[in-house]
Amino acid sequence: MSKRVIYLKNAEEANIIKQNGVILGKAQAEVAKLIGVGIKTKDLDKVAEEYILDNGGKPSFKNYNGFPATLCISVNDVVVHGIPSTRELKDGDIVSVDCGVFKNGYHADSAYTYMVGDVNQLTKKLLSDTKKSLFEGIAQVKPGNRIGDISYGVQSFTEGLGYGVVRELVGHGVGKYLHEAPEVPNFGKRGNGPKLQVGMVIAIEPMITLGKRFVVQENDNWTIRTEDRKPAAHFEHTVMVTKGGYEILTTFEFIEEVLVSRNLEII
Ligand code: MG
Ligand code: MG
């Protein structure tokens, strides 16, 4: 099977992915309950892993190409693929938590960036604009549009506000494999790339920087951080192309219920 083949999903498969999206959203909510000053990132990883296992799923990322944890936890200038550790979150940090759930043969993939305590205004706006850019991308999802329309939607929105768009890492198809075709870049031209067809399931995941767009990889061979050490944000949903446009198969609902109940600001 070629990695370039795009696997379309039927309603039954989409339903499995959506059910996994609920487990994923609730695992993310367990993390949201604990985000705060002094928590170790490995403790966040533990609650997410337990929740997924208790609900009959498997963490998609654990052992994926040797990744050692359930969550990618990326603090401040770390863009993605941060490894959970004994690092404690501090007041003013931002922390991106990326998680995948595998159950009944399919994956779901989603990420959310949280604020820890008092975050400065520019960084807060980075988070809010990155989240908006995810929905700018999703708004382009409909049969007949192309991947490039999604890419352009994210890029034009974020670069228009002066942010950097990371190019080395991209969204992707999601299904039996965590990463399937097609690639879903956060930069591109309208009308370019594979045509969106009913049943395509893709992860759209803008990775947006407050400074320049350039990234480097740490020598742990995972951690990707900004070259200029400015903060980066990351939001992700798994989305299916439907006849009428799209359906979002993952959810921020459970996360945001927790944030509301903790009197934390939703950006
Ligand atoms: Mg992800
Ligand atoms: Mg992804």
* Closest ligand (CA of 97): 1
Summarize pLDDT for 137-154 with one digit per residue, the tens: 999 999 999 999 999 999
Q: Are the beta carbons of 103 and 19 closer than 8 angstroms?
A: yes
**Domain-located, residue 3:** no
**Domain-located, residue 1:** no
Contacts of 24 (CB under 8 A, 6+ apart): 52, 99, 100, 101, 108, 109, 110, 250
73 CA distance to ligand 1 middle (Å): 11
Tell the residue number behind the tokens 């999903």, with chain if given: 9
Q: Residue 4: its pLDDT value, please? A: 81
**Domain-located, residue 73:** yes
Q: Are the beta carbons of 206 and 234 closer than 8 angstroms?
A: yes
109 CA distance to ligand 2 middle (Å): 5
201 CA distance to ligand 1 middle (Å): 14
Which pair of tokens denotes residue 166?
Answer: 């990371």
**Domain-located, residue 203:** yes
Q: Residue 3: its pLDDT value, please? A: 60
HSE of 158, CA atoms in CB hemisphere, 13 A: 37
C-alpha–C-alpha distance, residues 198 and 41, integer Å: 38
Tell the residue number behind the tokens 């007041």, with chain if given: 91
| CATH number of the domain to which 149 belongs | 3.90.230.10
Phi and psi based region of residue 13 (left: phi greater than 0; alpha: psi -120 to 50; beta: remaining): alpha
Average pLDDT, 10 consecutive residues per value, the chain (267 residues): 82 98 98 98 98 98 98 98 98 98 98 98 98 98 98 98 98 98 98 98 98 98 98 98 98 98 96
DSSP track, 42-80: HHHHHHHHHHHHHTT-EESSTTGGG--SSEEEEETTEEE
C-alpha–C-alpha distance, residues 249 and 251, integer Å: 7
Around ion ligand 1, residues with a beta carbon closer than 5 Å are: 98, 109, 111, 236
232 CA distance to ligand 1 middle (Å): 15
Element (H, E) at 261: helix 253-261
Q: Residue 137: its pLDDT value, please? A: 98
Domain coverage including residue 177: 11-261
205 CA distance to ligand 2 middle (Å): 6
39 CA distance to ligand 2 middle (Å): 25
Is the Cα dihedral 34, 40, 41, 42 positive or negative?
negative
**Domain-located, residue 4:** no
Q: Are the beta carbons of 61 and 71 closer than 8 angstroms?
A: yes
Whole-structure pTM value? 0.98
Q: Are the beta carbons of 73 and 45 closer than 8 angstroms?
A: yes
Specify which residues 240 forms β-bridges with.
201, 247
**Domain-located, residue 6:** no
78 CA distance to ligand 1 middle (Å): 14
* Closest ligand (CA of 99): 1
Rounded (10°) angle between helices 41-54 and 11-34 = 140
**Domain-located, residue 237:** yes
Q: How many domains does the chain have?
A: 1
* SS3 per residue for 224-260: EEECCCCCEEECEEEEEEECCEEEECCCCHHHHHHHH
**Domain-located, residue 153:** yes
